[in-house]
């Protein structure tokens, strides 16, 4: 089995090959896996269904134990393709709190962080 990442890989029905592709992908490709759906009003405004997550975006958790919880994105882990939302925490036995990683596909963007000029140009492009 080859260890290096193949850019010419098209698709496979085998789940193990799909998992291998996502796991072995370099960071510049893994950033594409960290996209989330937009809320309906943002969809109409920007004419896009989904955009990449950024630190500072306000999101709503759609699936899981923290369903319907809203908060800002504190951190994004590109290597594991996970997002950390403020307020989504589990309490450990010793009383300390730990942030729970959430899959970006389980999030919906409610409010975008528009501080970055590059992001503004990407969203306003037709």
pLDDT of residue 7: 74
pLDDT tier at 1, thresholds 50, 70, 90: low
pLDDT of residue 122: 81
Please give the C-alpha separations between residue 90 and each of 33, 57, 121, in angstroms, as whole numbers: 25, 21, 37
Among 62, 111, 104, residue whose Cα is nearest residue 84: 104
pLDDT tier at 13, thresholds 50, 70, 90: very high
What is the set of domains in the chain, with CATH numbers? 36-124 (2.30.30.30)
pLDDT tens profile 44-68: 999 999 999 999 999 999 999 999 9
The residue-averaged pLDDT of 27-56 equals 93
What is the rounded CA–CA span in Å between residue 19 and residue 39? 28
DSSP 8-state class, residue 95: S
Please give the C-alpha separations between residue 59 and each of 14, 50, 89, 102, 108, in angstroms, as whole numbers: 32, 13, 15, 11, 5
């Amino acid at each position: 089995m080859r260890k290096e990442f193949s850019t010419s890989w098209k698709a496979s029905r085998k789940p193990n090959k799909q998992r291998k592709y996502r796991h072995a992908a370099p960071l510049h490709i893994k950033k594409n896996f960290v996209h989330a759906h937009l809320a309906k009003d943002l969809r109409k405004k920007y004419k896009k269904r989904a955009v990449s997550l950024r630190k500072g975006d306000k999101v709503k958790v759609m699936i899981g134990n923290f369903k319907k919880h809203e908060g800002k994105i504190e951190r994004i882990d590109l290597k594991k393709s996970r997002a950390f939302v403020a307020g989504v925490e589990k309490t450990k036995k010793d009383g300390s709190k730990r942030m729970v990683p959430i899959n970006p596909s389980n999030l919906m963007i409610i409010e975008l962080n528009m501080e970055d000029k590059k992001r503004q140009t990407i969203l306003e492009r037709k």
